[in-house]
Chain A
Amino acid sequence: MNTSVKIAGVEFKNPVTTASGTFGSGMEYSQFVDLSRLGAVTTKGVALTPWQGNPTIRVTEVYGGMLNAIGLQNPGIEVFCERDIPFLKKYDTKIIVNVCGKTVEEYVGVVEKLASQPVDMLEINVSCPNVKEGAIAFGQDAKALENITREIKKVAKQPVIMKLSPNVTRIADMARAAEAAGADAISLINTITGMKIDINRRKFVLANKTGGMSGPAIKPVAVRMVYECAQAVKIPIIGMGGIMNGEDAIEFILAGATMVAVGAANFTNPLATVEVIDGIERYMKEQNVADINELIGAVQ
């Protein structure tokens, strides 16, 4: 049984990675999960300088999901290169570094710093709904997305994944823009902008008022968007949004995803990543699937 997949020449032992921001750089979860079992670890977004993030309350539960407005708190690329990359290199897994910034120059700056680092792929976060400048501004306008993708591709030494926002009118247009500008892959969906109001206090629950929704409640939206993008572009897709188990992951793969990412499920179950891998293998056995690649986009 083959579970390995390839994206832009990088081979992953299985199609499962982590959704950026839910797994840190793997350090905290490594006491429960053997990181070497994962196809890849996708790290929390890293910027050129340390970012403080938003005030609290930053997270809240909603029915079948959660809202977060962390605001990309991170220690900056220097600490990341000194601490997080050497940690991840101890494991037999691929490293996908999620990159964030407020301006094109900042994104390019991080990508340049990563050029000499032993990481396998870059995921460009142009879709975080929780920071005021940059991020989603690049992900909601096809021209801006095309432009930033080109600028990053000029300096990137690793294959580039553009992470798309679902908070757009037609996500397929964004996928096409990323592909046209030379992106090696796309990942989707980032969180869906949401809001929760405390009716007793008549106040917003989150300090940021809005937050990104994730969790099993958003899965049907994510599967639909992965399908639409798979119909629109030829570059590989990393699918995510509410994957809780192997069956959910298979759904994304059938819709057209080459890889999948496990996000909020890590909070529901610290072992979610490995259980998703086990679930995929179980499905393949039951369905007599010799190669996972047969399933990619196989929905009829």
Chain B
Amino acid sequence: MQIFEKSTLVKCGRLSEGIYEMYLKTGAAEYAKPGQFVMVYPSDASTILPRPISICEVCEDTLRLVYRVQGKGTREFSLYKEGESVKVLGPIGNGFPVEEGRGRKSILIGGGIGVPPILELAKALKGEDTTILVGYRNSDMFLTEDFKKQAPLEVATEDGSVGVKGNVMDVIREKNLKCDVIFACGPMPMLRAIKKYAEETGIKAYISLEERMACGVGACLGCVCKTTKKDEHSHVNNARVCTEGPVFEAREVEI
């Protein structure tokens, strides 16, 4: 079930350099699962495409979105004030297969602006044997306090100011982290490294992909990724990230 409606911005703020959050009261919250995302529609008429933003947390009738100001659309969002009405469509996509983490040892990995959806996943897997592993550029981090409430937290920073110096894979090696399954969202180089690691070690990895989108509903075929199996829509090994994804088992995609 997807909802397209005017939501109400109930809370917003800045979390760190260029990273903002907004809490949207929307009917979409009722159906939202970890790893799904929403389309948020800028009101400026010169920005004609909605922005795909991952769901960081589902708080009853409200979705918490944490996003990076990247261009005109997200800059507009960052200037919104409480009480503003914001058009959203969602929830979109398949989300993380949470059941794959039950009764298993899992690592939940987030990098950069791929960090936010890890929070709702960590909440869904609370009490399971999970470790949260997040990577940032420097000590200007976000969401770490929220993560600590859910599960043990490991941090990598590029400049080494907090946690392990380097990226999330360096943490896995340095701390010798073991698991049965990985759930991950982040930049493509990180996802490629996780895919390679999962293939070498024979563990399952579910990775959430990012791609430029236009419609967000599976109609325009803008946001495809190469798949090893025939895709559901066009039967040409090009799955829609917005509809068949954004989460894929790493072995099923060529990235």
Contacts and interface: CB of A to CB of B under 8 A. Distances in A.
Contact of B222 (A23, A58, A79): A58
A75 interface: yes
Contacts of A50: 234-236
A194 to B, nearest CB: 14
Interface string B115-135: 000000000000000000000
Interface size class of A (residues with CB under 8 A): 35 or more
Nearest to A24: B219
A57 B188 CA distance: 14
Given A56-B212, A215-B48, A216-B45, A23 B219 contact: yes
Nearest to A271: B4
Contacts of A70: 220-222
Nearest to A64: B46
B48 A60 contact: no
A73 B238 contact: yes
Interface in A38-66: 44, 50-53, 56-61, 63-66
Given A50-B235, A53-B238, A73 B224 contact: yes
B45 A28 contact: no
Nearest to B2: A31
Contact of B223 (A56, A61, A215, A244): A56
Given A50-B236, A53-B238, A58-B224, 13 more contacts: A22-B215, A28-B215, A29-B219, A32-B2, A51-B234, A51-B236, A52-B238, A56-B212, A64-B45, A70-B221, A76-B235, A267-B50, A269-B87
Closest 8 CB pairs of A and B: A59-B222, A24-B219, A28-B219, A28-B217, A52-B236, A59-B214, A28-B218, A75-B234
Interface of B: 2, 4, 41, 45-50, 73, 87, 89, 211-225, 233-238, 243
